[in-house]
């Protein structure tokens, strides 16, 4: 279709890679190649594994080669992984997890859905499908997975490319969320500098929600704190201005007074629901945990930033942080409330990275660090980069967290050249 071929592959993998003879699940991946290459040329191409952002994000469904995929398909066979629990891999959501038993059984099952397990899946796929080392390209959480790959299975990697995804190698999630709130506050002020009228409009919507019941299409009441999560728009250059178009649709006049429009509520409902990717909410804080519990880090750290409180005079937008009350207000997450609580309390998480292996790294690696990224902090990213031998950094203020959606072709090409590929 439109200059590309797509071929699906399904693999059986252990749920727990430390117990290869135990329970198994399936992992799906889709291969993309360019029709500019004939079959013989495709067979000779090296492979590139794309590690999607998330957690809980399935691989991209491409209908044409554009952006970074267009550049990559010139010299690679691209494998787009549906990380375990997502897409056409064995699903893990509010419906399927019920078959595992109660919250304790569900939580135990989900301990096998972090970066270390995703990397073990990828390495098993590589050995069965490819044989030779491949290039890995990680965006956002995919970059976290890439560092796990370099930590535990670097023999399978020819080169590593990372965009907006260099996580702390140690420490508490609290450090991450403190940096995130500071960055998100800056981005709020930047946005309202561009659209000063939206500052008053957002406050008006918040005060309206305190006095008037407005319901999302899924039936639940829209609260101020859930409204604040439309700040996910702030994380990118390619869609930040779309927030203005969302807010301008907010109110309509009715015989009973101003009400939020159905157009607005439909759009907000799609933004603040996790029905299509519940693993993002359930697993989000665990991606930073090695040893200690997250204990709802984002919620605790919020206490230091009263300007984000829903009852603040002019509440700020939050974004992609996850809070315990979310499992009460989002109907798709309510069945997983106790499961999420158990994961938040878990104190014996295993390691996600091997700092010693990263200090000895011999794999060519390059990372784009976005100076104003509100979700993966610049200073924390640079600290991590300095701890990985041979990792070359391109620091830029031209892009935000969604840089590869902005100019993926140029970003991918530059990182590839930084690893010595021309």
* 9 counts as catalytic: no
Catalytic residue among 140, 151, 154, 294: 140
Please report which residue ranges of 224-373 form alpha helices under DSSP H.
Answer: 224-227, 242-248, 262-272, 278-283, 297-302, 326-329, 337-345, 355-359
Do 72 and 137 meet the contact criterion of CB atoms below 8 Å apart? yes
CA dist list (Å): 204 to 20, 198, 215, 391, 422: 56, 10, 17, 47, 54
Q: What is the dihedral of CA 177, 146, 127, 83, to 10 degrees?
A: 40
Burial class (CB in 10 A: 0-12, 13-18, 19+), 336: buried
Residue located via tokens 């399927």: 96
In this structure, the chain runs to a length of 422
Location of structure tokens 């899946």: 121
Of 38, 39, 253, 348, the active-site residue reads 348
163: enclosing H helix or E strand: strand 157-163
- Our answer to whether residue 172 is catalytic in this structure is no
Up-side HSE of residue 370: CA atoms within 13 Å toward CB?
Answer: 24
Residue 401 is among the residues annotated as catalytic for this protein: yes
**What's the CA gap between 330 and 322, in Å, rounded?**
12
Residues designated catalytic: 140, 348, 401
């Amino acid at each position: 279709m439109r200059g590309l071929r797509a071929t699906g592959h399904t693999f059986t993998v252990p749920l727990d890679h430390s117990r290869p003879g135990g329970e198994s699940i399936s992992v799906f991946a889709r291969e993309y190649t360019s029709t500019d290459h004939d079959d013989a040329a495709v067979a000779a191409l090296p492979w590139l594994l794309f590690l999607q952002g998330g957690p809980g994000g399935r691989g991209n469904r491409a209908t044409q080669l554009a952006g970074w995929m267009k550049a990559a398909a010139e010299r690679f066979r691209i494998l787009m992984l549906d990380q375990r629990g997502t897409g056409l891999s064995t699903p893990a959501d509010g419906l399927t997890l019920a078959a595992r038993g109660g919250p304790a059984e569900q939580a135990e099952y989900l301990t096998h859905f972090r970066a270390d397990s995703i990397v073990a899946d990828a390495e098993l796929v590589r050995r069965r499908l490819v044989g030779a080392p491949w290039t890995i390209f990680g965006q956002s959480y995919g970059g976290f997975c890439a560092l796990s790959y370099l930590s535990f299975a670097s023999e399978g990697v020819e080169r590593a490319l990372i965009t907006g995804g260099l996580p702390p190698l140690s420490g508490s999630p609290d450090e991450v969320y403190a940096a995130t709130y500071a960055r998100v506050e800056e981005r709020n002020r930047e946005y309202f500098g561009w659209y000063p009228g939206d500052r008053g409009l957002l406050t008006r919507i918040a005060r309206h929600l305190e006095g008037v019941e407005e319901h999302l299409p899924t039936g639940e009441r829209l609260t101020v704190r859930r409204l604040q999560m439309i700040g996910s728009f702030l994380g990118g250059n390619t869609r930040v201005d779309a927030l203005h178009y969302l807010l301008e649709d907010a109110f309509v006049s009715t015989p009973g007074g101003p009400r939020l429009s159905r157009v607005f509520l439909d759009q907000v409902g799609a933004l603040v629901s996790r029905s299509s990717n519940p693993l993002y909410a359930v697993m989000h804080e665990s991606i930073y945990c090695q040893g200690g519990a997250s204990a709802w880090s984002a919620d605790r750290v919020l206490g230091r930033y009263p300007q984000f409180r829903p009852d603040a005079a002019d509440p700020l937008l939050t974004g992609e942080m996850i809070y315990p009350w979310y499992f009460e207000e989002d109907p798709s997450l309510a069945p997983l409330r106790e499961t999420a609580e158990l994961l938040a309390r878990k104190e014996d998480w295993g390691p996600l990275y091997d700092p010693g292996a990263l200090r000895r790294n011999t794999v060519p690696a390059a990372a784009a660090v976005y100076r104003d990224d509100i979700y993966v902090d610049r200073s924390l990213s640079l600290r991590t980069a300095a701890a990985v031998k041979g990792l070359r950094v391109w620091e830029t203020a031209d892009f935000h967290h969604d840089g590869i959606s902005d100019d993926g072709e140029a970003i991918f090409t530059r990182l590839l050249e930084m690893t010595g590929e021309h």
